[in-house]
Amino acid sequence: MSISSAKQIQKRTLEFCKTINRWYLTKELFDNINKIRNTEYRKIPERERIGKGIKFISNQVAKGYIIGIGYYLFMVADRHSIILTLAGLKFFAILLVGIFIWIINNVSFLSSPFQGFITIFKDVLLRILIFICIFSLGTVFLDVFPLKELVYFFVKKINKGEVAIDIGIGQIIELKKSKTKIIYYTNISIGIIQIFSSIFIFILIYLFAFEVISINEIIFGNTAVPHKTSEFIFFTILIFTGTVLLVSGPFKLYLSRETKTLGI
């Protein structure tokens, strides 16, 4: 610190100390302090303070999570690791969306400027979301145990005539072209449905973002989560789920196309 800066700080400190002599600890002084605090700094209520804390922590965790997972998938992981990682992310996303659906149906208060849209949302859109969760859970199983490997397993157990070469515990199976086509088009369909599922989820985000439907409040017992915090949490869940499906779907299409090209 320079000498001039030190002298300036010293001068300001002395001026401040002189002003203290003119202060009196009266009720009027404390009222003025409270008035300034409430008007200038706007004391945050406890409920809003909790909501802002949850929003801040979620935001920081989400940033670190996205950066870490993105770096791992694109820079570190091999193909099989990517498949298993996406399967794990999908399973986690399904759990979050399941909790989201339960909260929407049981402990949340919704509003919409369009009459009857809340009924449409609960009876139609949420049911489509439930179907997406069930379907995605099936794709997690097929990511861990590929459809072609399952077919090979049952062929070895049931139709041993399709085992072309049997070398001890090792076996080479040559499937009929009809079965190979069924497997290929099934995997293609799974990838396409995942892409459309992600688009549907982003449509839901659009509905919340433009307040076609809003979550006014979520109440857990005596604790209430305010409007902005509720929607932020659900935005995070839906964006995470939609992004995972949007990555998983094209990757499924790529693997299926590559497998067909190589004739594996």
19, pLDDT greater than 60:
no
The 8-class DSSP code of residue 122 comes to I
User: Is pLDDT above 70 for 115?
Assistant: yes
For 12-54, give the DSSP string.
HHHHHHHHHTT----HHHHHHHHHHIIIII-PPPHHHHHHHHH
pLDDT at 41: 46
256 or 179: which carries more pLDDT confidence?
256
CA–CA separation, 251 and 259 (whole Å):
12
The reported pLDDT for the residue numbered 227 is 77
Tokens matching residue 228: 């902005």
Please report the pLDDT score of residue 40 as a whole number: 47
- pLDDT for the residue numbered 57: 57
| Whole-number Å distance between alpha carbons of 32 and 95 | 51
Question: What confidence tens digit (pLDDT) does each residue in 208-237 have?
Answer: 888 888 888 788 777 777 777 788 888 888
Sign of CA dihedral 75, 79, 80, 82: positive
Q: Is the pLDDT of residue 36 over 70?
A: no
CA distance 237 to 176: 43
Name every residue whose Cβ is closer than 8 Å to that of residue 29 and which is 6 or more positions away in sequence: 23
Domain residue ranges of the chain, discontinuous segments joined by +: 1-43, 50-262
